[in-house]
Amino acid sequence: ASLSLHLLLSVLSRSVYQNPCDAPSPRQTHLHTLRALVDTNYTSRMSDNHASYAKIPPDTRKVDSSHMDSNGPQKLAEKDPMGSGMSKLEALFSHPLYNMPTPPIHEDDWLLKVKHKGKALTSAMTQPIGTGAVTATPPPPPPRLRFHLGISRWQLYPHLDPNMASLAQQLSTHRIVSADVLQKSGGTQLKLVMSFPNYGQAMLKPIKQERDEETNFNLYYFSDFERHNAEIAAFHRDRVLGYRRIPPAVGRLVDVVTEIKDITTDHKLARTFFTSPVFLLQHAVCGRPQNLEASLAMMLPDPSLATRRTWRSPWKCSYSRSKLAVWEKNPDYCDTVKTPPYNKGTRLVDLIDMTILDFLMGNMDRHHYETFEKFGNNTFLLHLDNGKAFGRHSTDEPSILTPLEQCCRIRRSTLLHLRLLSLPQYRLSDVMRDSLSHDPLFSVAPLLSALHLSALDRRLVTVLQTVSCCQERQRSRHGEGDDVIYENVTDYKTLVNHVTPAR
Ligand SMILES: *[C@@H]1O[C@H](CO)[C@@H](O)[C@H](O)[C@H]1NC(C)=O
Ligand SMILES: *[C@@H]1O[C@H](CO)[C@@H](O)[C@H](O)[C@H]1NC(C)=O
Ligand SMILES: *[C@@H]1O[C@H](CO)[C@@H](O)[C@H](O)[C@H]1NC(C)=O
């Protein structure tokens, strides 16, 4: 076991992309890596982890803990992922890096409280008020409620969430009982909120019309919408990176007559379907309901239950052609950013994580991000509204990476994930292709074209190159490149020690 872990670590530590500023350094040998991993203070959190889950009622916050068995990590390290018949995604998700024990989740670290006795939040929320049904064993909460109950200070859902499949299934098949336009206060952005019989709700974004004018005219009401496939791909992308900060989004063919026009109470929306001549023509000619490709994204808990706070990105674009934003003029801009909340905790590296995600998918539309108010400044960042991503595959937008370039700071866990995804057997584009093939719309058409997928690999190289340049620059200044890494992989050390007990 220890040999295979050596190999694993050496692969990881050598997978840095070779580039002009990446001089070979003896510090990068796997022996050094291994010693660094072992020689540091750590605490075993495996048992704590089990204990904390034991306090949560089963079925509500259950995660698949099979990878946290006492021999789990060993087994995983020994496994040859590619020889085992696993899919690319399964192989990636069973890699030890994705299965490091996580710190225990305390009661206050859950977004929503679960009442242990009497009428739990679960039954209060799933049964219509006034039915008064008090059953001894309430039915298990529906998938969307389990999703809400699983939101913690650190992520939206756990790795290998057993709830994910049923959640996706519901979003893509459950009957839609109402469709309403959600008008964001102050924004021009249109969104449709679809409701399901069990009070679940999802945000709908339809396919973005092709360049073709007829289609444009047909769907003019939707011209404000963002791309449905970007929304879906962003969810997969975020999950593949191990972030889990984007709400689940799945594809669905929506019948625009029965599932939107007939049930909406929004007259303007309904009228659109009557008055769009191209639509009516097509409908008459084909004699069958028109299916519209759309993405349905899980709604987060209602703000009345969980308030969210919106933060302006410090690297927001200036939107003025004549005037540069402050960060464009000042190479030391990052120093001015390091005031509250960016001077404490993980906020800065969280922002860098978001930067990397956005660069990979070419999303320039991130002016703001959100957090859950309950968790204060010490929490993960929600990456909402990704519909403008994946617009271009032929060019990259280097300005998106500015925060990483200027701050030269990245989480160890993020860097390890990125390096893993740059290895041939876990190649990002392959894993993404596999992941997206599980979406219901895959049978209609691939959600990302081959060109978009290969752009991901190219951009990943750029990110790793940027990190290497940062390390090189810092080494040339004061001999060490360590300031670049925000060390957060104590659990990885636990894993190493677990396999090689002699210290
Ligand atoms: C090592 O970890 C333990 C447990 O978390 C802690 O009490 C101790 O202060 C740590 N030691 C050092 C040197 O950081
Ligand atoms: C959270 O960040 C804000 C700055 O945006 C700051 O005013 C506040 O003091 C911070 N709270 C804590 C507890 O650090
Ligand atoms: C390191 O950061 C990642 C990403 O936020 C997180 O999933 C992981 O739990 C962190 N590790 C520790 C030991 O906190």
Of residues 352 and 80, which shows the higher confidence score?
352
Q: Does 421 lie in the same domain as 287?
A: no
Q: Whose CA is nearest to atom 9 of ligand 3?
A: 102
Tens digits of residue pLDDT in 453-479: 999 999 999 999 999 999 988 888 876
Say if strands 249-255 and 201-206 run parallel, antiparallel, or are unpaired: unpaired
Ligand nearest to the CA of 103: 3
Q: DSSP secondary structure string, 217-238?
A: HHTGGGTT---HHHHHHHHHHH
Tell me which residues have their CB closer than 6 angstroms to ligand 1.
41, 43
Which residues make Cβ contacts (< 8 Å) with residue 66, sequence separation at least 6?
A: 72
Domain that holds residue 396: 2-44+303-499
* Mean pLDDT for the stretch of residues 340-360: 95
Q: Does 363 lie in the same domain as 252?
A: no
Where among 298, 314, 337 does a domain terminate? 298
* Mean pLDDT for the stretch of residues 9-16: 49
Task: Quote the ligand 2 centre to 317 CA distance (angstroms).
Answer: 24
Contact 148, 299 (CB under 8 A): no
Q: Does 489 lie in the same domain as 456?
A: yes
Q: DSSP 3-state assignment of 109?
A: helix
Ligand nearest to the CA of 412: 3
pLDDT at 103: 78
Structural domains of the chain, count: 2
Of residues 58 and 267, which shows the higher confidence score?
267
**Does 441 map to a domain?**
yes
Is the pLDDT at 358 greater than 90? The verdict is: yes
Which residues make Cβ contacts (< 8 Å) with residue 147, sequence separation at least 6?
A: 156, 157, 163, 167, 248, 298
pLDDT at 359: 96
Q: Does 234 lie in the same domain as 311?
A: no
Where among 298, 319, 338 does a domain terminate? 298
Q: Whose CA is nearest to atom 14 of ligand 1?
A: 41
pLDDT at 42: 27
Tens digits of residue pLDDT in 396-455: 999 999 999 999 999 999 999 999 999 999 999 999 999 999 999 888 888 898 999 999
* Mean pLDDT for the stretch of residues 335-352: 92
**Does 49 map to a domain?**
no
Q: Does 369 lie in the same domain as 248?
A: no
pLDDT at 61: 55
Is the pLDDT at 233 greater than 70? The verdict is: yes
Tens digits of residue pLDDT in 253-312: 887 777 877 777 777 766 665 555 444 434 333 334 567 788 899 999 999 999 999 999
Token reading at 460: 């990943």
State the pLDDT confidence band at 115, using cuts at 50, 70 and 90.
low
